[in-house]
Amino acid sequence: MKLKWSGAAALVVFASAAHAQSSVTLYGSVDTGFLYQSANASSFQSPKNNGHVYELKDGGIYSSIWGLRGTEDIGGGYKVNFKLQGAFNTTNGKSGLSDTPGVTVLFNQQSTLGVSGPFGAIDAGRQIVPMIYAMADTDVRSAQYFGSVLTGWLGLNQAAGWQGLSTNGPIGALYDDNAIVYRSPKLYGASLALEYAPGGVPGQFQGGTRESAVLQYSNYGLNLAAVYYNGHDTSPFTANLQTGAIATAPSTGLNNNQFYYLGGQYTFHGFSVSTSYSRARNPSNANAPKGFNLEMYSGGLGYRFSPVFRITSGFYYLHDRNMGANHSAEYALGAEYNLSKATLTYAQVGYVDNHGDMSQTITYGAPVPKGRSSTAVMVGIRHSF
């Protein structure tokens, strides 16, 4: 009898092991380069020009990251997945910023647990929001950290008062806490992503909430994207740039962060062309002088000479609909060469012309003074593992 029970138990354990297979992967990228910039500010909100800067800088393509991801096959085409990912600065080893000004955290980009299957995928936790992936897919410059639709969008945030001391901006979002994101399977090239992030504010159902929807089409070399993002109490933290003191704004539940994006990219025989239009507004205070009502237009052109070498260019124009004197134009050109599957070298040059209170940057993390023009050049290397 004991032998029979032992044999049955062994069969159950074996069947479970065969049925539920799991894996965990350590991964990351290290990206560093030399940056020269002709005009530099101490912060995103500073009008003072500190002069040119030459520095070793992290993130010429994207930020340096490391993370853990895992999946368990639970049968029937369903999987349980997790992802922990954080950014770090290669020049000093610091972890990336969180939503609270000046506070760094280990996994500042993603810390999610979710389920995937024939229905698509659902992930919950802090994560990169779907709109950023859609913007990258419809920009020849791929929403890189140097001169792209990403830096243009960051310029809109700067125009709306973002201090750059945290990842919590007043326009759209790069990351959201407490986010629940559903991604549909692709059907005839079309896919849908839906996000809802409860705010967790006692007594206020809408306090601190976020919601977004992204519709994409990708087929026959054509990528199209439509984005809607909406937030309440979007920027609860501010910091005194002189003293560093952090102030927390009371939750009001006001709808004060609305962002729309339409973009497209077409690739044919190595040639790529892209264009987009964005609108950012504060529905609770759209027409006030200190409210924001901003637009961005973009265009890009690129050519892949071979599987390992490509050149890309982009143009990003920002405009304040309330105050016409506030506008900014940025131009970027870059070349990338893959030394191997894991190692990429790059050289980039950019120019930005800011007017009024605009302070659009050429590369993320290198502020440009308000109302000033600046030129930047960066050469570097990115290695993934």
User: Across the chain, what does the average pLDDT equal?
Assistant: 91
Q: What is the pLDDT of residue 244?
A: 65
> Containing H/E element for 64?
strand 64-75
Interatomic CA distance for residues 136 and 345, integer angstroms: 20
Per-residue pLDDT tens for 122-176? 999 999 999 999 999 999 999 999 999 999 999 999 999 888 888 988 999 999 9
Domains of the chain, each with CATH number or no CATH: 23-384 (2.40.160.10)
As a whole number, mean pLDDT of residues 331-356 equals: 98
Mean pLDDT to the nearest integer, 189-206: 93
Percent of residues, the chain, with pLDDT higher than 70: 92
CA dist 323 and 18 (Å) reads 64
Q: What is the pLDDT of residue 3?
A: 39
DSSP-derived 3-state class of residue 12: helix
pLDDT at 9: 42
Residues 243-256 have a mean pLDDT of 79
Tell me what pLDDT residue 146 has.
98
Read off the pTM.
0.90
Q: Which residues pair with 54 in a beta bridge?
A: 36
Distance CA 205, CA 200 (A): 8
Model confidence band, residue 328 (pLDDT cutoffs 50, 70, 90): very high
Question: 74-113, pLDDT tens digit by residue?
Answer: 999 999 999 999 999 999 999 999 988 888 999 999 999 9
Tell me what the mean pLDDT of segment 10-22 comes to: 51
- Residue 256 phi/psi, 5-degree rounding, is -125, 20
